[in-house]
Amino acid sequence: MAKFSDIKGFVFDLDGVITDTSIFHSQAWHQVADQVGVKWDDHLADALKGISRMDSLNLILAHDHRENDFTLAEKTTLATQKNENYLKLVAQMTPANILPGIKPFLADLKAHGYLLSLASASKNSPLVLKHLGLEAYFTKSIDPTSLTHGKPDPEIFRRGAEILNLDPQQCIGVEDAAAGVQSINGAGETSIGIGDATVLAAADINFATTAQLTLANIKAAMA
């Protein structure tokens, strides 16, 4: 693990880290799974975290060996339906949907001169940031449509450091998904996993909730 004193920037995931949208993504996919008759379970919900829209649909269908039952056009329709389900939930969002401790943590990072970037797989992240009133913190973010590979590939977190003009070793990546932690580790950054430490066993640092995300806790974990 890097030294805390070497850290100059933080690369954040959005869904499930900054805001509670991972529940909305799950609900929206659950509706599609019901529609096509694929059984839903918590393990599938966890496996979808951090995964791009189309890759998520393919995982859902493969969960019931249904991946070859749909044409590309049908899959595109299902993915669009999921996004419509999701956007209905996002429409209700306000700054109250920011997860505990995140707003003070972001303010503290800024006050201490750390650089921030956003490494979200979601094409909806600009809209979500707007609902949360957090756009000013994330002027640097990666357009997921510009990526060759989605999480767990390291590309997105590597780019998250690049856009800050930092080396990966100078960055901490923050994730709630196993695929995201794998991406951070592959990029050579220090990984913080938020949530179930068993699911996120590969993370350098584990916090059960976002409320534990403070510079003091991170410094202690890296000592």
Q: Is 200 in the site for Mg ion (CB under 5 A)?
A: no
Active site residue 13: yes
Strands across the sheet containing 190-194:
115-118, 9-12, 171-175, 190-194, 205-207
CB of 54 to ligand BG6, least distance (A): 9
Going by DSSP bridges, is the β-strand pair 115-118/9-12 parallel, antiparallel, or unpaired?
A: parallel
| Active-site option among 13, 46, 176, 204 | 13
Query: Residues 17, 176: contact at Cβ < 8 Å?
Result: yes
Query: Residues 150, 144: contact at Cβ < 8 Å?
Result: yes
CB of 79 to ligand BG6, least distance (A): 8
Residue 53 or 63 having the CB closest to ligand BG6: 53
Going by DSSP bridges, is the β-strand pair 171-175/190-194 parallel, antiparallel, or unpaired?
A: parallel
Q: Is 78 in the site for Mg ion (CB under 5 A)?
A: no
CB of 21 to ligand BG6, least distance (A): 7
Residue 143: count of CB within 10 angstroms of its CB: 10
- Interface residues with ligand BG6 (CB under 6 A) are 14-15, 22, 25, 48-53, 56, 83, 120-124
Q: Is 46 in the site for Mg ion (CB under 5 A)?
A: no
Which of 7, 11, 16, 191 binds Mg ion (CB under 5 A)? It is: 16
| Distance in angstroms (rounded) separating the CA atoms of residues 211 and 71 | 44
Active site residue 64: no
Which positions lie near Mg ion, rule CB under 5 A? 13, 15-16, 50, 176-177
Would you please indicate which residues are annotated as catalytic (active-site) residues? 13, 15
